[in-house]
């Protein structure tokens, strides 16, 4: 991202375009679903079920994966954001979920989501179907394998460019992306540091979640010994008031990256993560010659659900 790097006055900023992974506008869930859908097919499932907030990108990508694999899809969607606008309720990912043929089950805010998922699975079973329940964000050891692969891919791409990656920065939510990246980078002892910018959880909670999933992923990969602990870092300074609530720094980041790099970020994840990266650059948290890679985890469909927030 040369124009953004110049505008900010260094370090050297790069981007990993995981918004270009496919499945109905792309995003980080494609890599997780590659493994999860394979597991579902191996188990003979005919219906994918998953959980998320109303504008969940993970839910939309699961609906897309189901359509592509010829499976049915049930989405359990929590009304997590208070005072949603019309656009939030009907546009963006919700519009795409419907087009992709998913069945949408809305549940009120603070519903225990794992229970709601189990109930949806029971309903599918009662009507003779075979459900495969994917946890929120596709974040278990199977889904996290997608980001182990992404870490290895980045190391290979950097080697092809003769580049040393100093640090990777990305939005972290249900933890699968971060746990997978850390397992991948540390599994091959690359020395690449990972920084997750949280989108709603306090740092300690996020770091604990990442640690737990890292351990599971490490064991699932069959790597020797215990997973290292020194590459787990979350920053909770950039999500603002709450999950899904716009911040002015997010809006500035989305605008700046669009104007300088012609890249579209999203309001809930990549926009807030980028606002963190920009602020850390302005605070000189990185050396001027460091190579920092921002993993674009997708989510642009959410922009259309947040149109009122960007209105002048
Ligand atoms: C666009 C986007 N970026 C980042 C994340 C966070 O990834 P993870 O849930 O693997 O932590 C999500 C999760 O839903 C997302 O939709």
Q: What is the pLDDT of residues 143-169, one digit of tens each?
A: 999 999 999 999 999 999 999 999 999
Which of 21, 62, 134, 171 to mutate to test ligand 1, by most ligand atoms within 8 A of the CB atom? Answer: 171
Q: What is the CATH number for 285?
A: 3.40.50.1100
CA distance 173 to 206: 8
Do 237 and 122 fall into the same domain? Answer: no
Q: Cα(255) to centroid of ligand 1, in Å?
A: 20
Do 245 and 145 fall into the same domain? Answer: yes
What pLDDT is attached to residue 82?
A: 84
Residue 209, ligand 1, Cβ within 6 A: no
Which of helix, strand or coil describes residue 95?
A: helix
Burial track 174-203 (b if 16+ CB lie within 10 A, e otherwise): bbbbbbbbbbbbbbeebebbbbbbbbbbee
Per-residue pLDDT tens for 14-71? 999 999 999 999 999 999 999 999 999 999 999 999 999 999 999 999 999 999 999 9
**56 in active site:** yes
Do 115 and 204 fall into the same domain? Answer: no
What pLDDT is attached to residue 83?
A: 85
Query: What is the tally of structural domains in the chain?
Result: 2
Answer yes or no: is pLDDT of 312 > 80: no
What pLDDT is attached to residue 175?
A: 98
Do 235 and 148 fall into the same domain? Answer: yes
Decide if 282 contacts 1 (C-beta within 8 A).
Answer: no
Which DSSP category does 298 fall into?
B
Q: Cα(127) to centroid of ligand 1, in Å?
A: 32
Per-residue pLDDT tens for 217-261? 999 999 999 999 999 999 999 999 999 999 999 999 999 999 999
What residues make up the domain containing 199? Answer: 2-26+140-310
The three-point CA angle 69-73-75 to 5° equals 140
């Amino acid at each position: 991202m040369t124009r953004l790097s110049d505008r900010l006055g260094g370090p050297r900023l790069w981007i990993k375009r995981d918004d270009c992974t496919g499945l109905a506008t792309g995003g980080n869930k494609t890599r997780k679903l590659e493994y999860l859908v394979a597991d579902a097919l191996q188990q003979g499932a005919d219906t994918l079920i998953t959980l998320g907030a109303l504008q969940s990108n993970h839910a939309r990508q699961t609906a897309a994966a189901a359509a592509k694999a010829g499976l049915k899809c049930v989405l359990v969607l929590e009304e997590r954001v208070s005072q949603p606008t019309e656009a939030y309720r009907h546009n963006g990912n919700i519009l795409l979920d419907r087009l992709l043929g998913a069945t949408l089950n809305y549940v009120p805010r603070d519903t225990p989501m794992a229970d709601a998922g189990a109930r949806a699975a029971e309903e599918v079973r009662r009507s003779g179907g075979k459900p495969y329940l994917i946890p929120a964000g596709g974040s278990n050891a199977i889904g996290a394998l997608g980001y182990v692969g992404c870490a290895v891919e980045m190391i290979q791409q950097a080697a092809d460019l003769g580049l040393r990656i100093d640090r990777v920065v990305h939005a972290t939510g249900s933890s699968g992306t971060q746990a997978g990246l850390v397992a991948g980078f540390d599994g091959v002892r690359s020395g690449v540091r990972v920084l997750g910018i949280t989108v709603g959880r306090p740092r300690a909670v996020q770091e604990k979640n990442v640690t737990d999933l890292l351990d599971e992923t490490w064991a699932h990969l069959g790597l020797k010994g215990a997973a290292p602990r020194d590459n787990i870092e979350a920053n909770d300074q950039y999500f603002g008031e709450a999950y899904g609530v716009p911040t002015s720094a997010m809006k500035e980041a989305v605008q700046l990256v669009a104007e300088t790099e012609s890249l579209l970020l999203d309001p809930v994840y990549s926009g807030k993560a980028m606002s963190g990266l920009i602020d850390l650059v302005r605070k000189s948290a990185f050396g001027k010659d460091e190579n920092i890679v921002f993993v674009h985890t997708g989510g642009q469909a959410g922009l259309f659900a947040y149109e009122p927030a960007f209105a002048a």
